[in-house]
A and B are shown apart, each in its own frame.
Chain A
Amino acid sequence: MLKVLKQGFFSTLQDQGRFGFKDKGVPVSGSMDTYTTKAINTLLENASNAAVLEITMTGPTLEFNAPTYICIGGADFVVTLNNEPISLYKIYKVNTGDILFYGKLNIGFRSYLAIKGGFKSTVILNSSSYYYPITKSRCVKKGQELDYEECVDFSPKISEIKISSIFNKNELEIAKGPEYNLLNPSQIKQIFTTIFSISNQNDRMAYQLQENIEGVNYSMLTSATLPGTIQLTPSGKLIILMKDGQTTGGYPRVLQLTDRAISILAQKKYGDTISFKLV
């Protein structure tokens, strides 16, 4: 068990999400930054769907109640294990009673804590990703114990990787969305020349951008949306749907982020800037 001593802002268990239930209105959920979770689960030689702890903005303090191996990736927090600073993308052995402490956030927004074998949690609709009310929990709470299997003997093939941080990138690669053709030349110019900033309306459901562009008045029938879909509202607001985003919508889907761009955006916070590049 991993005991939550201090809660932090918002931490959830996430795997690759719920595939196959969008037609029932169930968001896919899962890790916001799959680029990072893939890397740390691979290092620990976990299944690709192993559940990790996604930690947002301010981190928790955690106590291990059984030996295992861990690896942290994503946002650059000051993280200590028993008061000793630890590095990203490096495997550490932990013992009973060890304390993992999250301090100051330097760059990025979401840190990921992977554990050997993955966290064990109730599987609902093929996934243990937190999404209230599909799962009872909205986020991990102080005093909660997260289950994992003890591991005392693991010799990783590779124990550390240096990966270039993608989080310094501000340029998001996008494809044309299904309703891209509704855009006029001036809107297209606005989209590709504006440096946009992330508004305070940003979470696992959607990121809204601060700067509006010229709006679009188009009445369309409700149709499916995906993580990474950028909707344009009549008032000119750009809304980027993320992993917990609604599965259908009625606003024109003018652009679509690439998978990699979703991971980059997942590491942006209020006030950070981005621009778009068509691929």
Chain B
Amino acid sequence: MSKYTISIRPFGQHAILIEWPNIVDEAILEDILQFKTYLVNNFLFPEKWEIIPAYNSLVLVERNFPINFNVIKHNIKQWYSEKSTVDNKREKNLWRLPVCYDSDFGIDLEEVASKVNKSVEQVIALHTKQSYTIYGIGFLPGFMYLGGLPTDLEVNRRQTPRQKVIKGSVGLAGKQTGIYPQESPGGWNIIGNCPVSMFKATRENPIFVSVGDKVEFFPIERAEYNLRVIENEAGVYTIQKIKIDA
């Protein structure tokens, strides 16, 4: 039995878009990722197919050849209806990431605190008490779209985006929080900095997070931050990871 009504649409010569109901919902994301696992394990192998999940959608991209939409659409319907009867276990992790909320990094922290009528300490406590769900990775390599921000921390984007937001900056914007994986222009309110590179070419797994994983932040002092930066550069920092059942 399939859980949701899905829509299947063509997306150019090589790709297909599958959409679930248009809402942010963890159960929907879980259904999408289980279906992705089922497809990758059984039908659409990674040498030929790329499968990109985000929020309420999956995009399937064929590497070399144009696809026959109607044939694939028929197959997808079939596969989706049989999926729930089989085991689609996948690795799912909770990543615990250190954040330094020092005022050198959290350049908008005081402004954010006054906007939401909290103290700086309360903002940090709220930001670190939550597990966030990764609903998508995009915009920049390793940039996570995180859901689950406490409503008390919702603030608008800055009126004027900054030309330069430094690598590792932790920001708030609307219902979202996230980490800038590299230096880039950006309009989010910056409240801290994470010393762990979200992308590192020399690491065995250059981008360790996956859509569907969870993220938690924990506060560190400036002195520890400096140490973690050195460890991260040297490639000896061990990222805290807890396996979750999925």
Contacts and interface: CB of A to CB of B under 8 A. Distances in A.
The answer to whether A binds B is: yes
Interface of A: 19-27, 124-125, 133-135, 175-178, 220-224, 226, 228-229, 246-249, 253, 256-259
B11 interface: yes
Contacts of B210: 23-24
A134 to B, nearest CB: 6
B139 A248 contact: yes
Contacts of B24: 221
Contact of B136 (A133, A220, A248): A248
SS class, residues of chain B in contact with chain A: loop
A24 B200 CA distance: 12
A246 B207 contact: no
Given A25-B140, A228-B12, A221 B61 contact: no
B94 interface: no
Interface in B44-91: 46, 50-57, 59, 61, 63
Given A23-B51, A223-B57, A257 B141 contact: no
B139 A23 contact: no
Contacts of B19: 223
A19 B63 contact: yes
Nearest to B138: A248
B55 A221 contact: yes
Contacts of B15: 226
B33 to A, nearest CB: 10
Nearest to B51: A23
Contacts of B14: 226, 259
B199 A133 contact: yes
A175 B69 CA distance: 13
Contact of A226 (B11, B142, B211): B11
B235 interface: no
Given A223-B54, A224-B54, A26 B207 contact: yes
A176 B10 contact: yes
Given A221-B55, A223-B57, A23 B13 contact: no
A175 B15 CA distance: 11
A224 B12 contact: no
8 contacts: A23-B211, A124-B206, A175-B13, A176-B10, A221-B24, A224-B57, A224-B138, A258-B13
Nearest to B142: A25
A224 B137 contact: no
SS class, residues of chain A in contact with chain B: loop
Given A25-B138, A175-B12, A222 B201 contact: no
B22 interface: yes
Contacts of B209: 24
A221 B50 contact: no
Given A178-B11, A248-B138, 16 more contacts: A20-B46, A23-B53, A23-B210, A23-B211, A133-B141, A175-B10, A175-B13, A221-B24, A221-B57, A223-B54, A226-B11, A226-B14, A246-B140, A247-B137, A248-B52, A248-B145
Contacts of A133: 141, 182, 199
Interface centre among A26, A229, A253 (most CB of B within 10 A): A26
A222 B12 contact: no
Given A133-B182, A175-B10, A175-B13, A248 B54 contact: yes
Given A24-B137, A256-B11, A124 B54 contact: no
B241 interface: no
A223 B138 CA distance: 9
Nearest to A175: B12
B132 interface: no
A23 B213 CA distance: 13
Contacts of B10: 175-176, 178
A125 B13 contact: no
B95 to A, nearest CB: 14
Contacts of A256: 11-13
B201 to A, nearest CB: 5
Contacts of B54: 221-224, 248
A152 to B, nearest CB: 33
Nearest to A258: B13
B35 interface: no
Contact of B206 (A20, A125, A248, A258): A125
A10 B41 CA distance: 41
